Amino acid sequence: MHRKVLPNWFFGFCATLLLLFNTVVSGSIVFFLGLVKLFLPIRAISILLHLAYDMWCKGNRLGLYVGCEQVNINVSETVKQQGWYLLVSNHISWLDIVVLSAAEALPAPKFFLKDELKYIPFIGTGAWAMGMPFMKRASKSQVAKNPKLKGLDVERTQHSCRNFRQHPTTVINFAEGTRFTQTKQKQQGGGYNHLLKPKAGGTAFALEVLAQQLDGLLNCTLMYQAKSQHICGSFMLGQLQSVNVEVELLAIAQVPQGSYQGDNSYRTHFQNYLNQLWQNKDEQITQYMVERSDMSSHTNKKVASL
């Protein structure tokens, strides 16, 4: 089927149904196997669990290519399928999870998720079964009332990341902590044109726990071209024109390492390091948008001349 034969909404509708069906079926299998693993923690169950999760990733890949006109996922050729990586990425849309899980070159993508998501059927329950870390940050006032809450995120992150050591894994952290909107950007005040300020804590904790096993840090930049700023809505309507993912591999020896909780000097150093990554990422997105704008303008002129 060529996109010129059928309307865009048809492809968006089919892709959305495919993703929903894939999530329900694969999510149910993963959750069931996760329950079995609680009572029968043997390697065979763990292998089946990862096979079911891989099925979900492949289903997402198919849905993404059905629903989007152009998909470019560029992962450094030196990334190994049997490796362990920590990936930091900007966060634009709920579709980001589908996109990164669809990246065939990444070994078993697993995500840092907000604590509220664990109660969402199929998605949250499946993530729980896979041992993904759920982040529940306590406010300063909550910590003041209950000091035991301090460092709870660290313990959860360490526990989850230790589980990742059993299988080749890409631990994915959306360092901004929330999806980008222009309103949130204005509230934060300056710094970047297309990004929110990165939060270094989750990335530093994962790095501290896994550093000895990691084969590298993956710096990922997500970029979309759509007819509106609502990426998921554009995808469901078949109006998502392009998805572009650039994944750069950084040698782990070049990434600052230390105790984020116990060393103030290291905390500042790592924050500056991540801020510089984000500055470079912001410039990369600006360049991408200029190039896409130039291409669109050139196409429009060509059509007008015809």
Sequence spans of domains, the chain: 70-292
**pLDDT above 90 as % of the chain:** 54
Helix or strand (DSSP H, E) at 30: helix 8-39
Crossing angle of helices 43-67/8-39, nearest 10°? 170
Residue 81's SS3 state is coil
Spatial separation of the C-alpha atoms in residues 240 and 222, rounded to whole Å: 14
- Mean pLDDT within 49-67: 95
Lowest-confidence region among 34-48, 87-101, 201-215, 287-301? 287-301
3-state SS, residue 211: coil
What is the second-level CATH architecture of the domain 70-292? 3-Layer(aba) Sandwich (3.40)
Question: In the beta sheet, which residues pair with residue 248?
Answer: 219
Write the pLDDT tens digit of every residue in 147-197: 665 666 666 666 666 777 778 899 999 999 889 988 898 888 768 999 999
Contact yes or no for 33/200 (Cβ under 8 A): no
pLDDT on residue 86: 93
Confidence of residue 57 (pLDDT cuts 50, 70, 90): very high
Q: Can you give the pTM of this predicted structure?
A: 0.87
In this structure, the chain runs to a length of 306
Handedness of CA 183, 187, 190, 192 (dihedral sign): negative
Tell me which of 35-44, 208-217, 222-231 is least confident. 208-217
Residue (of 209, 154, 190, 180) closest to 275 by Cα position = 190
Please state whether beta strands 70-75 and 113-114 pair in parallel, antiparallel, or not at all (unpaired): unpaired
